[in-house]
């Protein structure tokens, strides 16, 4: 469906054109003075400069032309030439009913869909997910879902860190603990054990110990680097052990991501890009894009008009081993060959912006992807504690993500029990959904690029701009509909009215749905969806408090209201789903 505001814009743009002005001046915006009008067109002021006429004269011409159009309740001119617009209720209700009958509630479908790869995991194997992984996972998931909702072909990739120095650290630490294992015997020619020589709990203890040891002992660090290089060169025992690390880690990662309702289409890692590296390096050398500098292979990506220094892109280290950037560049080649994407979107901490600037410049300069392929980096801010510093455990360490999820789940569990509306066997599942909503909405309602304060008391509140408040609105509507089941169960019921200003306001909020979804994707800004569903929830609450739906005796009004709030529920649930949030039936 076309956006409601676009329908008004189209009508007014036609009148600008009919009167000899460019149609672009007919753009309509939502009024910032709802006490005066619903919408406003300010084009007459801009047109006045081009056509050397008084803006009031132009506005008067347009308003006179619009009097023959049967969708406006009132049109007036304010100030130097603003056109104030109020639409007829019949026009509004017609659009609302179209939304009700549409599977996507008026959400548009892209006429020229793109193929988009979203790289939004970035977890390292052999390490537990921690709070630093939260933002990339849930922001990326929302962007992926919104793009799919609009009709794009979207591939979400976790892009695991499974090939770097941490692998060498883990391998050498396992060797120190269990030197008798066959993975370290160069003379072993049999099949390696099918079962891993460690559990996820042991693995999550092995890495931090190995990392701390390597950082304090230069010889151990060199040993880890050598093991990394041997793994990358295909040493048989190390590759077999690496596969165990990967399998054990990915099983745990999938469980943790599932707790956030985050899902990836691809579970590829840096290792999957390795086969592409030799040809890539040869191509960069043969075409004089890469050169040696202090033994390393680099590509100069600086530009004459740079306002800050952009260092060369490092392709290979002096010992010939690859880096994070090497696999990123090779992954672009892999994705181009596999999917021919129109756009690749990366989610990572904004402090990695220089890396992605170098990567994108190198990819474009070396022509390893088509000129029209977009590369987009969304750098997000940090989640901070109330002290304004990056969120830590009480002991000062980085908190595991599963521990954070459990903390916020516990914070809402007691409220669920106290509500006495949820059966005992549903308490845990309900607390899980509300806790996840509190955590995800608390994050996503902030602009992605900005840091924010993690406030568990505020995020888990059932009041205010929080996930639980939005869920409570949905649950309240479900409760009302269950009391009007004789109407809500009928098919084809229509919305009439509006019968009050509060109901009209609710309709005007509903028709913004399509607009907000499109803006959210265009700006890669899930907080726009949060903003919309919060405003819709508030507008519904005002309507609900002034309207006795269940007790209404006029069957026509009651039927219309049931149809209207059913649409509100559906729109809210669609919005929540685009954020990766599930709504419970009771709370």
Long-range contacts of 299-303 (CB under 8 A, 24+ apart): 299/362, 299/365, 299/366, 301/357, 301/358, 301/361, 301/362, 301/365, 303/361
DSSP label at 376?
A: E
For residue 503, is it within any domain?
Answer: yes
Distance separating alpha carbons of residues 460 and 463, to the nearest angstrom: 9
Which of 68, 87, 106 delimits the end of a domain? Answer: 87
Classify residue 187: in a domain, yes or no. Answer: no
Residue 382 lies in a domain: no
45: CB partners within 8 A, 6+ apart? 55, 80, 81, 82
Domain count within the chain: 2
For residue 479, give the CATH number of its domain.
Answer: 1.10.730.10
Helix (H), strand (E) at residue 531: helix 527-546
Cβ(231)–Cβ(224) under 8 Å?
no
The total of other beta-carbon atoms located within 10 Å of residue 175's CB is 18
C-alpha–C-alpha distance, residues 441 and 141, integer Å? 13
CA angle 17, 96, 509 (to 5 degrees): 85
Write down which residue in 43, 58, 87 finishes a domain.
87
Structural domain includes residue 348: no
DSSP letter assigned to residue 272 = G
DSSP secondary structure of 219-258: HHHHHHHHHHHHHHTT-HHHHHHHHHHHHHHHHHHHHHHH
pLDDT given for residue 28 in this prediction: 97
Of 45, 67, 87, the last residue of a domain is 87
Q: Which residues pair with 400 in a beta bridge?
A: 130
The model's pLDDT over 328-377, given as tens digits with 9 standing for 90+, comes to 999 999 999 999 999 999 999 999 999 999 999 999 999 999 999 999 99
Q: How far apart are CA 6 and CA 88, in angstroms?
A: 16
Q: Quick check: is 541 in a domain?
A: yes
Domain that holds residue 47: 4-87
Q: Give the pLDDT confidence score for residue 501 in this predicted structure.
A: 97
- CA 141 – CA 580 distance, rounded (Å): 7
Would you write out the chain's pLDDT as a tens digit for each of its 587 residues? 999 999 999 999 999 999 999 999 999 999 989 989 999 999 999 999 999 999 999 999 999 999 989 999 999 999 999 999 999 999 999 999 999 999 999 999 999 999 999 999 989 999 888 888 999 999 999 999 999 999 999 999 999 999 889 999 999 999 999 999 999 999 999 999 999 999 999 998 999 999 999 999 999 999 999 999 899 889 999 999 999 999 999 999 999 999 999 999 999 999 999 999 999 999 999 999 999 999 999 999 999 999 999 999 999 999 888 888 999 999 999 999 999 999 999 999 999 999 999 999 999 999 999 999 999 999 999 999 888 888 877 766 778 888 899 999 999 998 999 888 899 999 999 999 999 999 999 999 999 999 999 999 999 999 999 999 999 999 999 999 999 999 999 988 999 989 999 999 999 999 999 999 999 999 999 999 999 999 999 999 999 999 999 999 999 999 999 999 999 999 999 999 999 999 999 99
Q: How does DSSP classify residue 306? A: -
Q: How far apart are CA 528 and CA 514, in angstroms?
A: 12
Closest CA to 383 of 30, 115, 136: 136
Name the DSSP class of 131: G
> Domain with 22 in it: what CATH number?
3.30.1360.70
Asked if residue 12 belongs to a domain, the reply is yes
Alpha helices in 341-395 (DSSP H): 353-365
- The DSSP line for 22-72 is -GGGG-EEE-S-TTT-SEEE-HHHHHHHHHTS-HHHHHHHHHHHHTT-TTE
Quick one: tokens of 558?
């009651």
Within a domain: 391? no
For residue 273, being part of any structural domain is answered with no
- pLDDT the model gives residue 113: 97
Confidence (pLDDT) at 391: 84
């Amino acid at each position: 469906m076309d956006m409601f505001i676009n329908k008004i814009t189209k009508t007014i743009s036609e009148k600008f054109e009919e009167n000899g002005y460019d149609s672009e001046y007919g753009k309509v915006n939502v009024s910032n003075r709802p006490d005066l009008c619903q919408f406003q067109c300010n084009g007459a002021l801009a047109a006045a400069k081009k056509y050397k006429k008084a803006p009031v004269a132009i506005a008067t011409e347009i308003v006179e032309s619009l009097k023959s159009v049967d969708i406006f309740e009132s049109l007036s001119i304010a100030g130097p030439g603003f056109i104030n617009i109020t639409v007829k209720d019949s026009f509004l209700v017609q659009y609302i009913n179209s939304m009700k009958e549409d599977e996507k509630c008026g959400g548009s479908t892209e006429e020229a869909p793109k193929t988009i790869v979203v790289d939004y995991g970035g977890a390292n194997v052999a390490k537990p997910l921690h709070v630093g992984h939260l933002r990339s996972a849930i922001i990326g998931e929302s962007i992926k879902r919104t793009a799919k909702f609009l009709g794009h072909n979207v591939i979400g990739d976790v892009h695991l860190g499974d090939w770097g120095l941490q692998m060498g650290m883990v391998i050498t630490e396992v060797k120190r603990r269990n030197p008798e294992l066959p993975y370290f015997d160069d003379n072993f020619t049999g099949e390696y054990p099918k079962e891993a020589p460690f559990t996820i709990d042991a693995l999550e203890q092995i890495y931090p110990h190995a990392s701390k040891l390597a950082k304090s002992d230069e010889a151990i660090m060199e040993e880890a680097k050598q093991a990394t290089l041997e793994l990358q060169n295909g040493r048989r025992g190390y590759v077999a052990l690496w596969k165990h690390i990967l399998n054990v880690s990915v099983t745990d990662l999938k469980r943790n991501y599932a707790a956030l309702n985050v899902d990836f289409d691809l579970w590829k890692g840096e290792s999957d890009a390795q086969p592409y590296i030799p040809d890539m390096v040869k191509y960069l050398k043969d075409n004089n894009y890469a050169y040696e500098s202090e033994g390393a292979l680099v590509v100069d990506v600086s530009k004459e008009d740079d306002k800050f220094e952009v260092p060369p892109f490092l392709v290979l280290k002096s010992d010939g081993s690859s880096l994070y950037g090497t696999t990123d560049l090779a992954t672009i080649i892999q994705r181009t060959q596999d999917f021919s994407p129109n756009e690749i979107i990366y989610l990572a901490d904004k402090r990695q912006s220089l890396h992605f600037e170098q990567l994108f410049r190198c990819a474009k300069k070396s022509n390893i992807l088509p000129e029209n392929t977009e590369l987009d980096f969304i750098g997000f801010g940090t989640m901070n504690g109330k002290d304004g510093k990056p969120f830590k455990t009480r002991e000062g360490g980085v908190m595991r993500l599963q521990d954070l999820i459990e903390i916020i789940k516990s914070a809402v569990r007691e409220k669920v029990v106290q509500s006495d509306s949820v059966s005992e066997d549903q308490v845990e599942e309900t607390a899980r959904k509300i806790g996840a909503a509190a955590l995800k909405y608390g994050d996503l309602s902030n602009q992605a690029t900005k840091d924010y304060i993690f406030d568990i008391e505020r995020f888990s509140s059932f009041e205010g701009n929080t996930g639980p408040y939005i869920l409570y609105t949905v649950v309240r509507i479900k409760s009302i509909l269950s009391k009007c089941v004789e109407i809500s169960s009928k098919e084809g019921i229509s919305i009439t009215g509006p019968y009050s200003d509060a109901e009209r306001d609710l309709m005007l909020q509903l028709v913004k749905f399509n607009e907000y979804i499109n803006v959210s994707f265009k700006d890669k800004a899930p907080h726009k969806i949060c903003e919309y569903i919060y405003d819709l929830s508030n507008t519904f609450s005002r309507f609900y408090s002034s309207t006795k739906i269940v007790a209404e005796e006029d069957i026509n009004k009651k039927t219309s209201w049931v149809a209207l709030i059913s649409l509100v529920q559906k729109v809210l649930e669609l919005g929540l789903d685009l954020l990766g949030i599930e709504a419970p039936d009771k709370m």
